[in-house]
């Protein structure tokens, strides 16, 4: 019997806001433990949350990019459970009225997007544990997909596309090293052709897109093999260990939490009116898919170039400023820049470099040297060409003078050429280049020489 | 008359003219506390040196509303650098790291934060017997309770140990103790006063308010503490009126809800309240019969909503970040041991009730249903206020009971708030003013108003107070 997997993903994404969701503490990463905290995000007695409107706007923006319906009256709920990483022992989240409903990323349906507060980070030492509350209260968006994926590749592609969208919209940097994108996965297996789902198994603790793929590549065969052995799977939660490359049982259904959700009395409901929605719509960036198509159509780029550029929003933006009259050439240069956000090169310098080469002012080979200098020093290409004395001599008068000198000094080559040995011209070109100290435009030199020899 | 026995208005006059200094007033109160608090146990914490230092710093001749006035605060309000135990062992050793918004306002208006008063643990109770630090006694009869949960804040004003005090009212915790100790207690409209810095019991019901000796003082206190606060999303951005309380009751329609005079109610209490209502009639108010038909469900609704919210609000007391910690084998065991040792029986009872009401399978039947009935109760008031400008009722069904009398029966204790709870569920404002005695025990008249219409209930209360001498009666200590 053949089996197939059914996969749904819950993705947690930290929003790119300056401050936390309910207090004024900074959200910057990597500070000393417990230095980005205040009574509010530490859950001190008597404090109250105040909503960060920017977090709501970013979540709605994400929803619009994914094609969700925006809930006009949504609210906050308390999700109750005890854990040391949870300062209040309840999390302010959204239960039945999330900000966004429905939507699609590629072929995968998105059920809902809601906003909540991130928890702190626990550290376990030899004899005790510590909690760093810097992360507690960072705005966290949960994006729940439909169970529309069947293979680890489907999951990988969904996550990659989702990440691309969120980065493009400036909603999140999705930096997985910093834990800005985390994922839980629901996976079950069933005989091909069966309509009902198998027993749903949740996998937690996957901190990268490739980690999700690896976890599923382990978990799906594990479940299929268990069924083939005649075992019965049951609903449970498992933990992925990326080092071991295995999933481990965390808890079975009987130990599932009862979160006792109820409406958060300390916050007013969120009312998204037409004005607010229109404002957010105006910030909607072009989606990656649409942008790729436009790059091919508008700039005549090959699909590959369009894909590379659009995959990195900053690279694509840089390209659009640099495209000039020869977008393909500009794209070739830009795609070699590895750190586009920190490069000293200005987009208009790329335009100038391409123009200099196309006008024959410098050769393509010289262009590479100029580009290397641009990368290192951030100077405009014109300045580099001037400083290095790289400009080609394209002055026909000067070249004609050199050509006549060369013809006069090399009668043998002239005779050979006239006798039909076309290669003899190269020797004369070489002479002219020597006379011009290498600065003459070689193409111009050959055409001037040829004209002179054939004409006389 | 001794300085400690004066009102805010009387003292402000003497301070402004320089007749007395803030230090003299503060010292007079510290001496009074020294003399009588052994009997009352109204205070949990005092720092005489700090109080006197505040008195030295204040410019008592300024025009600030509370310049030089010593005020006590319930142990549920955060004051930077002071303990804040909520009368619970679980917060033993905790020191506040910030000022509640009402404390900021008191300080801005020159008040002297005198000390912290006793209460039922986490404001859960109607007698102050649920304090982890001993009972507070009623200044009128030391064998009796001072009401609760703000019993310490009521007793210290009634016993002249503070000029005024702050309490919190979730289901009657200001008005009920004010009634049974013979002082004025005001619960402002939900959203009128910032809750920032008030340790939450039931977030959708809690409101901070004053205890004072007169209605005029209550109006002054409200002017100081009312107003929008960016740090409390439920505080309402409406301007704060001057709360002018003169004007009398002539032409005002006062609603008399038939559901508020119940069988089994104390006869002397009923007689005093009915006499007060007649008095208001003779002052020119029109008394109209009204009905608040869902009143009988209020106690049940309250004990579902308040306990549900409390079960989450009190979850943060786990010994991880602050407060007392009892070490266990692991983190779960530490939670259990810490909370087991830290919370008293009534708090545990309510956490379990609330947890149960929110549990899967019970949520719809209990919490959700309670919310629906809460809406009906709110609508009762909206309808009633189409017929009247304010509602007059007894504050309690009986005077202060004996210490220990109801301890064994939580349900009996829950019925103490039967007349005060609906106001919190509806989110309206209410005030209790002294209206006579049952034997030698004070009786309170409750006046309930529309949301954000504190001015009207203060006006009614003022007219009544000025036509009687009840507020001038003082207990002998
Ligand atoms: Zn903070």
User: pLDDT tens digit string along A191-224?
Assistant: 999 999 999 999 997 889 999 999 999 999 999 9
Query: What is the rounded CA–CA span in Å between residue B369 and residue B144?
Result: 37
Rounded alpha-carbon distances, angstroms, from residue A4 to A212, A220, B33, B49:
17, 8, 78, 76
Q: For residue B358, which residues of chain A lie inside 8 Å, CB to CB?
A: 80, 260-262
Bridge partners (DSSP) listed for residue A185: A9, A203
> In this structure, what are the phi and psi dihedrals at residue B81, rounded to the nearest 5 degrees?
90, -10
- Compute the average pLDDT of residues A285-291: 86
Of all residues in chain B, the percent with pLDDT exceeding 90 is 97
Closest Cα in chain B to A86: B316
* pLDDT tens sequence across A152-167: 999 999 999 999 899 9
Query: What is the rounded CA–CA span in Å between residue A348 and residue A353?
Result: 9
Q: Which residue has the higher pLDDT, A431 or B285?
A: B285
- Test B196 with A129 for CB contact under 8 angstroms: no
Q: What's the token pair of residue B467?
A: 């036509």
CA B233 and chain centroid, separation: 22
- Test B234 with A268 for CB contact under 8 angstroms: yes
Query: What is the rounded CA–CA span in Å between residue B452 and residue B228?
Result: 13
ipTM: 0.96
Query: What is the rounded CA–CA span in Å between residue B143 and residue B161?
Result: 19
- Test B196 with A48 for CB contact under 8 angstroms: yes
* Secondary structure of residue B375 in the 3-state scheme: helix
Q: For residue B230, which residues of chain A lie inside 8 Å, CB to CB?
A: 50
* pLDDT tens sequence across B308-362: 999 999 999 999 999 999 999 999 999 999 999 999 999 999 999 999 999 999 9
- The structure tokens 């909690």 sit at A131
How does A255-282 read in b/e, with b if 16+ C-beta sit within 10 Å?
Answer: eeeebbbbbbbbbeebebeeebeeebee
Query: What is the rounded CA–CA span in Å between residue B259 and residue B94?
Result: 44
Q: For residue A89, which residues of chain B lie inside 8 Å, CB to CB?
A: 312, 315-316, 318
Q: Which residue has the higher pLDDT, A128 or A38?
A: A38
Closest Cα in chain B to A127: B330
* pLDDT tens sequence across B200-229: 999 999 999 999 999 999 999 999 999 999
Q: Output the pLDDT for position B474.
A: 94
Question: How many angstroms separate the CA of residue B185 from the nearest CA in chain A?
Answer: 22
Q: What is the CB neighbour count within 10 angstroms for residue B241? A: 14
Question: Contact B124/B344 with Cβ under 8 angstroms?
Answer: no
Question: Contact B372/B425 with Cβ under 8 angstroms?
Answer: no
Q: Is B315 on the interface with A (CB under 8 A)?
A: yes
Q: For residue A129, which residues of chain B lie inside 8 Å, CB to CB?
A: 331
Distance, CA A8 to ligand 1 centroid (Å)? 33
- Test A268 with B233 for CB contact under 8 angstroms: yes
Contacts of A17 (CB under 8 A, 6+ apart): A27, A52, A54, A55, A58, A139
- Compute the average pLDDT of residues A436-442: 78
Query: What is the rounded CA–CA span in Å between residue B375 and residue B380?
Result: 9
Q: H helices then E strands: how many in chain B?
A: 15, 11
| Cis amide leading into A21 (omega within 30) | no
Q: For residue B363, which residues of chain A lie inside 8 Å, CB to CB?
A: 260, 262
Please identify every residue of B annotated as catalytic: 74, 149, 173
User: Is residue A341 predicted with pLDDT exceeding 90?
Assistant: no
Q: Are strands A201-206 and A236-241 parallel, antiparallel or unpaired?
A: parallel
Q: Is B167 exposed, middle or buried (0-12, 13-18, 19+ CB in 10 A)?
A: buried
Q: Is A379 on the interface with B (CB under 8 A)?
A: no
Half-sphere exposure in the Cβ direction for B229 (13 Å, CA): 23
Q: Where are the alpha helices (DSSP H) in B234-328?
A: 267-282, 298-313
* Secondary structure of residue A206 in the 3-state scheme: strand
Question: Contact A72/A271 with Cβ under 8 angstroms?
Answer: yes
Query: What is the rounded CA–CA span in Å between residue B68 and residue A345?
Result: 66
State the pLDDT confidence band at A452, using cuts at 50, 70 and 90. confident
Question: How many angstroms separate the CA of residue A262 from the nearest CA in chain B?
Answer: 7
Question: Contact B460/B215 with Cβ under 8 angstroms?
Answer: no
Which value, in Å, is the radius of gyration of the alpha carbons in chain B? 21
Q: Output the pLDDT for position A394.
A: 66
CA A360 and chain centroid, separation: 36
User: Is residue A456 predicted with pLDDT exceeding 60?
Assistant: no
Q: Output the pLDDT for position B412.
A: 84
Question: Contact B138/B177 with Cβ under 8 angstroms?
Answer: no
Closest CA to B254 of B210, B212, B286: B286
Closest Cα in chain B to A39: B97
Question: How many angstroms separate the CA of residue A79 from the nearest CA in chain B?
Answer: 9
* pLDDT tens sequence across A239-254: 999 999 999 999 888 7
Distance, CA A18 to ligand 1 centroid (Å)? 12
Rounded alpha-carbon distances, angstroms, from residue B185 to A412, B210, B217, B393:
120, 6, 10, 14
Picking from A20, A37, A45 by the largest number of B CB atoms within 10 A of its own CB, the best residue to mutate is: A45
Of A46, A266, A267, the CB nearest to B100: A46
Distance, CA A179 to ligand 1 centroid (Å)? 19
- Compute the average pLDDT of residues B28-40: 98
Q: For residue B360, which residues of chain A lie inside 8 Å, CB to CB?
A: 258, 260
Bridge partners (DSSP) listed for residue B433: B445
- Test A258 with B359 for CB contact under 8 angstroms: yes
Question: How many angstroms separate the CA of residue A320 from the nearest CA in chain B?
Answer: 43
Rounded alpha-carbon distances, angstroms, from residue A179 to A138, B137, B403:
11, 56, 57
Question: Contact B223/B109 with Cβ under 8 angstroms?
Answer: no
Rounded alpha-carbon distances, angstroms, from residue B161 to A236, B33, B177, B362:
61, 5, 16, 47
Whole-number average pLDDT of chain B: 97
State the pLDDT confidence band at A413, using cuts at 50, 70 and 90. confident
Q: What is the DSSP string of A100-151?
A: EE--EETTEEEEEEEEEE---EEEE-SS-EEEETTSTT-EEEEEEE-S-B-S
Closest Cα in chain B to A265: B204
Domains contained in chain A, CATH given: 3-278 (no CATH), 288-388 (no CATH), 396-455 (1.10.10.410)
Question: Contact A213/A241 with Cβ under 8 angstroms?
Answer: no
Query: What is the rounded CA–CA span in Å between residue A132 and residue A121?
Result: 5
- Test A89 with B358 for CB contact under 8 angstroms: no
* pLDDT tens sequence across B404-430: 999 888 888 888 899 999 999 999 999
Question: Which residues of A, range 229-258, sit inside 8 Å of B by Cβ?
Answer: 258
Rounded alpha-carbon distances, angstroms, from residue A357 to A362, A366, B306:
5, 9, 77
- Compute the average pLDDT of residues B4-16: 98
Query: What is the rounded CA–CA span in Å between residue B434 and residue B154?
Result: 13
Question: Contact A262/B367 with Cβ under 8 angstroms?
Answer: yes
- Compute the average pLDDT of residues A389-415: 81
Q: Output the pLDDT for position A455.
A: 67
Whole-number average pLDDT of chain A: 92
Query: What is the rounded CA–CA span in Å between residue A381 and residue A387?
Result: 10
Closest CA to B173 of B209, B227, B225, B221: B209
Q: Dihedral, CA atoms, B433, B437, B441, B445, nearest 10 degrees?
A: -30
Q: What's the token pair of residue B160?
A: 């002249």
Q: What's the token pair of residue A83?
A: 């854990």
Distance, CA A97 to ligand 1 centroid (Å)? 26
Question: Contact B86/B199 with Cβ under 8 angstroms?
Answer: yes
Question: How many angstroms separate the CA of residue B324 from the nearest CA in chain A?
Answer: 13
Q: Is A121 on the interface with B (CB under 8 A)?
A: no
Q: With both helix axes pointing from N to C terminus, report the angle between A347-358 and A364-377 in degrees, rounded to the nearest 10.
A: 160
Domains contained in chain B, CATH given: 3-252+387-472 (3.90.1300.10)
Query: What is the rounded CA–CA span in Å between residue A164 and residue A174?
Result: 9
Question: How many angstroms separate the CA of residue A258 from the nearest CA in chain B?
Answer: 7
Using a cut of 0.80, tell me whether the model's pTM lies above it. yes
Bridge partners (DSSP) listed for residue B144: B402
Rounded alpha-carbon distances, angstroms, from residue B298 to A200, A269, B351, B426:
44, 25, 19, 10
Q: DSSP label at B302?
A: H
**How many Å is the maximal CA-CA distance in chain B?**
69
* Secondary structure of residue B129 in the 3-state scheme: coil
* pLDDT tens sequence across B75-92: 999 999 999 999 999 999
- Test A260 with B78 for CB contact under 8 angstroms: no
- Test B311 with A80 for CB contact under 8 angstroms: yes
């Amino acid at each position: 019997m053949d089996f197939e997997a059914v996969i749904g993903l819950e993705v947690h994404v930290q929003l790119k806001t300056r401050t936390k969701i309910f207090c004024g503490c900074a959200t910057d990463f990597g500070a000393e433990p417990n230095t980005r905290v205040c009574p509010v995000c530490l859950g001190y007695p008597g404090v109250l949350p105040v909503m960060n409107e920017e977090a709501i706007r970013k979540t709605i923006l994400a929803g619009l990019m994914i094609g969700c319906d925006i809930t006009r009256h949504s609210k906050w709920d308390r999700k109750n459970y005890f854990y040391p990483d949870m300062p209040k022992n309840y999390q302010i989240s959204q239960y039945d009225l999330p900000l966004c409903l429905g939507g699609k990323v590629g072929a995968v349906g998105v059920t809902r997007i809601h906003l909540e507060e991130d928890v702190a980070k626990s550290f376990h030492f030899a004899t005790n544990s510590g909690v760093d509350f810097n992360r507690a209260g960072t705005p966290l968006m949960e994006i729940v997909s439909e169970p529309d994926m069947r293979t680890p590749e489907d999951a990988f592609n969904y996550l990659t596309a989702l990440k691309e969208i969120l980065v493009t919209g400036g909603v999140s940097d999705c930096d997985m090293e910093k834990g800005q994108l985390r994922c839980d996965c629901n996976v079950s297996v069933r005989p091909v052709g069966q309509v009902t789902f198998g027993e749903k198994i949740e996998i937690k603790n996957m901190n990268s897109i490739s980690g999700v793929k690896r976890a599923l590549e382990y978990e799906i065969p594990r479940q299929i093999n268990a069924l083939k052995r005649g075992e019965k799977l049951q609903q449970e939660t498992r933990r992925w260990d990326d080092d071991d490359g295995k999933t481990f049982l965390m808890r079975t259904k009987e130990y599932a939490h009862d979160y006792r959700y109820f409406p958060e009395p300390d916050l007013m409901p969120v009312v998204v009116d037409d004005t607010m929605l229109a404002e957010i719509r105006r910030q909607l960036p072009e989606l990656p898919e649409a942008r790729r198509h436009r790059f091919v159509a508008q700039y005549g780029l090959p699909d590959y170039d369009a894909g590379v550029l659009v995959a990195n929003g900053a690279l694509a933006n840089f390209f659009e400023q640099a495209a000039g009259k020869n977008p393909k050439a500009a794209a070739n240069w830009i795609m070699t820049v590895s750190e586009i956000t920190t490069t000293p090169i200005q987009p208009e310098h790329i335009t100038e470099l391409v123009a200099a080469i196309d006008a024959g002012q410098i050769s393509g080979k010289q262009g590479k040297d100029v580009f290397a200098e641009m990368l290192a020093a951030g100077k405009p290409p014109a300045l580099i060409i001037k400083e290095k004395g790289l400009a080609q001599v394209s002055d026909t008068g000067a070249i004609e003078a050199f050509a006549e000198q060369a013809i006069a000094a090399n009668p043998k080559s002239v005779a050979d050429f006239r006798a039909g040995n076309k290669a003899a011209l190269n020797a004369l070109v070489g002479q002219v280049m020597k006379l011009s100290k290498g600065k003459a435009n070689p193409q111009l030199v050959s055409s001037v020489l040829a004209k002179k020899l054939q004409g006389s | 008359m001794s300085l400690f026995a004066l009102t805010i208005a009387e003292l402000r006059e003497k301070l402004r003219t320089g007749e007395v200094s803030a230090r003299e007033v503060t010292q007079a109160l510290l001496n009074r506390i020294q003399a009588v608090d052994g009997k009352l146990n109204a205070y949990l914490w005092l720092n005489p040196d700090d109080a006197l230092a505040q008195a030295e710093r204040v410019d008592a001749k300024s025009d600030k509303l509370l310049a030089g006035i010593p005020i006590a605060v319930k142990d549920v309000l955060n004051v930077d650098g002071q303990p804040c135990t909520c009368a619970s062992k679980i917060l033993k050793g905790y020191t506040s790291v910030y000022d509640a918004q009402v404390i900021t306002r008191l300080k801005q208006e020159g008040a002297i934060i005198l000390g912290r008063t006793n209460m039922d643990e986490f404001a859960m109770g109607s007698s102050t017997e649920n304090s982890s630090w001993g009972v507070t006694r009623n200044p009128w009869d030391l064998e009796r309770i001072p009401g609760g949960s703000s019993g310490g804040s009521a007793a210290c004003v009634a016993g002249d140990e503070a000029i005024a005090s702050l309490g919190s009212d979730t289901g009657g915790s200001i008005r009920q103790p004010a009634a049974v100790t013979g002082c004025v207690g005001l619960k402002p409209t939900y959203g009128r006063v910032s809750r920032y810095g008030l340790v939450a019991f039931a977030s959708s019901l809690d409101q901070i308010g004053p205890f004072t000796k007169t209605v005029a003082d209550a109006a002054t206190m409200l002017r100081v503490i009312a107003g929008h606060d960016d740090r409390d999303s439920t505080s309402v951005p409406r301007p704060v009126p001057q709360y002018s309380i003169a004007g009398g009751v002539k032409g005002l329609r006062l609603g008399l809800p038939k559901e508020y005079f119940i069988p089994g109610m104390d006869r002397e209490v009923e007689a005093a309240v009915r006499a007060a209502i007649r008095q208001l009639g003779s002052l020119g108010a029109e008394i109209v019969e009204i009905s608040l038909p869902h009143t009988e469900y209020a106690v049940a609704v309250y004990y579902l909503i308040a306990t549900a919210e409390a079960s989450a609000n009190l979850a943060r007391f786990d010994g991880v970040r602050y407060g007392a910690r009892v070490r266990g084998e692991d983190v779960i065991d530490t939670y259990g041991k810490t909370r087991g040792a830290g919370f008293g029986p009534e708090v545990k009872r309510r956490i379990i009730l609330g947890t149960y009401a929110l549990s899967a399978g019970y949520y719809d039947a209990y919490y959700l249903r309670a919310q629906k009935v809460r809406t009906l109760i709110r609508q009762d008031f909206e309808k009633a206020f189409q017929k009247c400008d304010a509602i007059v009722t007894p504050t309690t069904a009986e005077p202060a009971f004996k210490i220990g009398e109801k301890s064994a029966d939580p349900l009996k204790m829950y019925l103490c708030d039967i007349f005060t709870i609906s106001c919190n569920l509806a989110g309206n404002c209410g005030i209790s003013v002294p209206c006579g005695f049952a034997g030698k025990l004070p009786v309170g008249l409750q006046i309930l108003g529309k949301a954000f219409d504190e001015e009207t209930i203060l006006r009614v209360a003022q007219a009544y107070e000025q036509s009687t001498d009840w507020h001038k009666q003082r207990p002998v200590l």
